[in-house]
């Protein structure tokens, strides 16, 4: 629990509460992960946090105007929860937060929050206690965390080290690095899957980046590897996106269905609420399973 409070997190919501205060104010400083508020003292043009760090109200005003970013107070300084490199990564103050890469959000946030988005995907294959799950694209780890909470053991893969660093910072991802039921693997799922023996997993949750960014994760070659490591009767969920907005996306979903079937999957069908597909591996070579 203390891990969450090694930094104090601020969004425009908390910043505005601090600016309205006169004297002491109690504020949630963990992005709403747990219902716990801490005291912030406002006086003399400064806000003083529980560890003694003082922040000028001018900076608090700047945070209050930025409704698209998350900030944190740590070691006497104030920082944006973002990494700039070849790409630009930042936490976005939805509840729970999502991650944005070059302006593209990694969760659905229109008409739902990232947790609801996650539940729709996990519920499509319903991992159960004692099962083993392969989560191909970790992101902030909400999928892995939800599957682990249901009693499954999860191998979750993330290619981008910067995404892992953002996840380590995010209070909502804390369980990802502290659950005995989750193993985080840094690497490209296209290569990582080859390390596993056949018939290893009961469930695969495949939530890749958009096709233009990771086309190899939509290939028949990759689907054949997923089929190989899935146990007979095992379930696959594959997020594809909204196929109804553009004809190109309709073609993408149709192509995914065709490639999954060629790879050996059966029972391929759409799951509209999760904007994806479910499929399974036959119980045996002659039957289509359950």
| Extents of the domains making up the chain | 2-79, 114-280
Looking at domain 114-280, its CATH class is alpha beta
Burial of 243: CB neighbours in 10 Å, binned 0-12, 13-18, 19+? buried
pLDDT tens column, 212-223:
888 999 999 999
Beta carbons of 227 and 221 less than 8 angstroms apart: no
What is the spatial distance between Cα 52 and Cα 38, in angstroms, rounded to a whole number?
Answer: 12
What is the spatial distance between Cα 44 and Cα 104, in angstroms, rounded to a whole number?
Answer: 40
- Across residues 115-123, what is the average pLDDT? 96
Beta-strand relationship, 153-158 and 132-135: parallel
Strand partners, 153: 132
Beta carbons of 216 and 224 less than 8 angstroms apart: no
Beta carbons of 9 and 30 less than 8 angstroms apart: yes
Assess whether pLDDT exceeds 70 at residue 226: yes
Q: What's the pLDDT band for 290 if we cut at 50, 70, 90?
A: very low
Nearest to 30 by CA among 75, 96, 101: 96
Beta carbons of 229 and 198 less than 8 angstroms apart: yes
Q: What's the pLDDT band for 31 if we cut at 50, 70, 90?
A: very high
Per-residue pLDDT, 6: 74
Residue position matching structure tokens 């944190």: 72
What is the spatial distance between Cα 207 and Cα 121, in angstroms, rounded to a whole number?
Answer: 9
């Amino acid at each position: 629990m203390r891990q969450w409070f090694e930094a104090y997190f601020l969004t425009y919501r908390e910043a505005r509460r601090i600016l309205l205060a006169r004297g002491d104010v109690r504020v949630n400083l963990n992005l709403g992960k747990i219902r716990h508020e801490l005291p912030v003292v406002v006086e003399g043009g400064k806000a003083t946090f529980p560890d003694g760090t003082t922040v000028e109200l001018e900076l608090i005003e700047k945070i209050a105007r930025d409704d698209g970013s998350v900030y944190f107070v740590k070691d006497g300084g104030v920082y944006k929860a973002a990494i700039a490199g070849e790409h630009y990564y930042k936490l976005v103050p939805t509840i729970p937060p999502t991650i944005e890469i070059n302006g593209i959000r990694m969760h659905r946030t229109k008409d739902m929050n990232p947790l609801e988005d996650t539940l729709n995907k996990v519920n499509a294959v319903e991992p159960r206690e004692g099962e083993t799950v392969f989560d191909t694209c970790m992101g902030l780890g909400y999928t892995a965390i939800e599957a682990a909470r249901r009693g499954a053991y999860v191998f979750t893969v993330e290619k981008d080290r910067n995404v892992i660093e953002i996840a380590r910072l995010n209070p909502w991802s804390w369980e990802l690095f502290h659950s005995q039921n989750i193993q985080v693997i840094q690497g490209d799922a296209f290569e990582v899957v080859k390390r596993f023996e056949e018939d290893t997993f009961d469930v695969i949750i495949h939530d890749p980046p958009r096709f233009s960014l990771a086309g190899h994760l939509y290939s028949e070659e990759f689907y054949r590897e997923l089929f190989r490591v899935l146990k007979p009767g095992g379930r696959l969920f594959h997020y594809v996106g909204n196929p109804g907005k553009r004809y190109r996306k309709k073609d993408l979903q149709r192509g995914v269905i065709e490639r999954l079937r060629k790879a050996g999957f059966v029972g391929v069908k759409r799951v509209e609420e999760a904007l994806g597909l479910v499929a399974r591996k036959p119980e045996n070579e002659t039957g289509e399973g359950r």
